[in-house]
Amino acid sequence: MESSSATSSSPSRRRDLQSNLAFRELRGQRSPGEFAAAVRRAAREIGERVSCDARYIGRVEAGEIRCPNYAYERVFLHMFPGRSLTDLGFVPRSEVRGRGRARSEAAQPPLTAEQSGSRHQGLLPHEIPHQEIPHHETENHKESDVQRRAFMTGGTATVAAASFAPLGLTRDGGAAATAAGRPVRRVGHAEANAVEEAVRKIRLLDDRHGADGLYRRAAAPLRAAYALLDAGTARQATAQRLQAGAGELAISVGWLAHDSGRFDDARSHYAEALATARMSGDAALEAHAFCNTAFLARDAGRPREAVRAAQAAQRVARNLVSPRLLSLLALREAGGWAGLGDRSGCERSLSRAQALFDCGPSNADPEWMSFYGAAELEGLEAQCWSALGDWSRAARHARRATALQDPHFTRNTALYTAELADDLARAGHPDEASAAGLRVLDLLNEVQSSRVLSMLAMTARVLAPHRRAPGVSTFLERHREVSHSA
């Protein structure tokens, strides 16, 4: 499998490549084939599946693969703990996804704005030589480190200010400027970067801390993104990036509403993303919107709608060449069938999901699917068996999910462990259920998720008749304290 950032193999392009000496040094005395085998073994250790071979290692060392996709990233960081991607000789992901790629064309005279626009019409923003991007678009690159620090220290509200304040569109600034007749800054490459960066940072915080503390604040960058769309742009490629970015941001904010129990708000945001996808003809965005709509319908007690939405997503995604995406969508369909009590329909969808997952990752896997690995597959299957009332089978899959989960995804670790606690309680194992519940309570210092809290509340009710058992009483007492403080 090749990285999503693989570059052209033309002779002129190869002359510009810089060898990855750091990665070559890490290979040591092993041949490329031996090292590739070590990569595959490391992948299996963490539940990943990569088709690494000697050719892939050669392309990395030659500099053709400047940044690996998310599956390879997880494997490499597992193999070399304590190192970052840059320590391994790769460039930051932001540099190959939406920040522009510098090219050595110093011998050419500078182009006017009109010449640059016509020359690069139809190119993606990252394919435009850096020196030909207008100055107002390069300014944002210098601000990226400030935005990153602001987001990590101040949360979503702060990153909204850091990302959009230079554009005059923080919160409702853009809409207000338009209504007042004031000029709105022309939208370009830097503004599209800001929207895409907001999506990434919101996802990152949700992975680590859960949705409850983020949702209200995340509305600001979403409003700003749609204000940018209304402001318009001269380049079709930039407009497409903004539409995709705004749609993905609507889904991210919708997920925050979904995970914090605000189902009506989530439904509205997902519908907004779906409308954006259809207006722009963006099949990848449409599949993502349908995927989340199916998940929401299942959680909201509308299982037949969940099945229909998941099937619609699969029809849209059929031409996107991503088996992992189709695998996740099959799991969404399985969840709907389980909610309907249709065991055979659920089993067919689960079987399809597993077969597609076993095809491994591909370059076409969407960026937003970084959470979907073996742990998520097991966790979603556990939820299906739980809905069907097969508690022991559900507990087996939930246990596998907790064992396979990447520690980076703290929120998912809490979710799978809460699922395990509830399944064990209903399967008649109160002591084990209480121990799992206590582990979830320990994680609540880092995670704020209404979904996890509601699952623990159900588990506590199931365990209440066993309150005299020492482990159970400890869990019930701690759960009561957490519930009161919440």
- From first to last of the 486 residues of the chain, give the pLDDT tens digit: 433 343 334 444 444 578 999 999 999 888 888 898 889 888 887 877 777 888 889 889 988 888 888 788 888 998 998 888 899 999 887 666 544 433 333 344 443 333 333 333 333 333 333 333 333 333 333 334 443 344 334 443 444 344 334 333 344 444 444 434 444 556 677 777 777 777 777 777 665 555 556 767 777 778 877 887 777 766 778 788 888 888 898 998 998 888 888 899 999 999 999 999 999 999 999 999 999 999 999 999 999 999 999 999 999 999 999 999 999 999 999 999 999 999 999 999 999 999 999 999 888 898 888 889 999 999 999 999 999 999 999 999 999 999 998 877 788 899 999 999 999 999 999 999 999 999 999 988 777 778 888 899 999 999 999 999 888 999 999 999 888 775
**Per the domain annotation, does 34 fall within a domain?**
yes
CA–CA distance, 100 with 419 (Å, rounded to integer): 43
| Domains contained in the chain, number | 4
Residues 273 and 287 in one domain: no
- All residues at 6 or more sequence positions from 468 whose CB lies less than 8 Å from its CB, including other chains: none
CA–CA distance, 256 with 254 (Å, rounded to integer): 5
Residues 197 and 244 in one domain: yes
Residues 275 and 160 in one domain: yes
pTM: 0.63
Q: What local confidence, expressed as pLDDT, does residue 96 receive?
A: 60
**Per the domain annotation, does 174 fall within a domain?**
no
**Per the domain annotation, does 13 fall within a domain?**
no
Last residue of a domain, one of 56, 71, 94: 94
- Please measure the distance between the N-terminal and C-terminal CA atoms of the chain and give it in whole angstroms: 46
Q: What is the dihedral of CA 372, 373, 377, 380, to 10 degrees?
A: -40
Last residue of a domain, one of 280, 297, 323: 280
Residues 390 and 478 in one domain: yes
Residues 292 and 265 in one domain: no
Q: What local confidence, expressed as pLDDT, does residue 70 receive?
A: 79
Q: What local confidence, expressed as pLDDT, does residue 21 receive?
A: 92
Residues 162 and 273 in one domain: yes
CA–CA distance, 441 with 453 (Å, rounded to integer): 9
Q: Specify the 3-state DSSP secondary structure of 233.
A: strand
- All residues at 6 or more sequence positions from 171 whose CB lies less than 8 Å from its CB, including other chains: 160, 220, 223, 224
- In DSSP terms, 6 is beta-bridged to 65
CA–CA distance, 42 with 46 (Å, rounded to integer): 7
**Per the domain annotation, does 134 fall within a domain?**
no
| DSSP structure class, residue 170 | S
For residue 416, give the CATH number of its domain. Answer: 1.25.40
Residues 392 and 480 in one domain: yes
The answer to whether the CB of 128 falls within 8 A of the CB of 102 is no
Residues 235 and 161 in one domain: yes
Q: What local confidence, expressed as pLDDT, does residue 140 receive?
A: 38
Q: What local confidence, expressed as pLDDT, does residue 367 receive?
A: 83
Last residue of a domain, one of 338, 372, 406: 372
**Per the domain annotation, does 109 fall within a domain?**
no
Residues 79 and 39 in one domain: yes
**Per the domain annotation, does 25 fall within a domain?**
yes
Residues 31 and 51 in one domain: yes
- All residues at 6 or more sequence positions from 11 whose CB lies less than 8 Å from its CB, including other chains: none
Residues 366 and 464 in one domain: no
Other C-beta atoms closer than 10 Å to the C-beta of 211 total 27
Structural domain boundaries, residue 267? 156-168+188-280
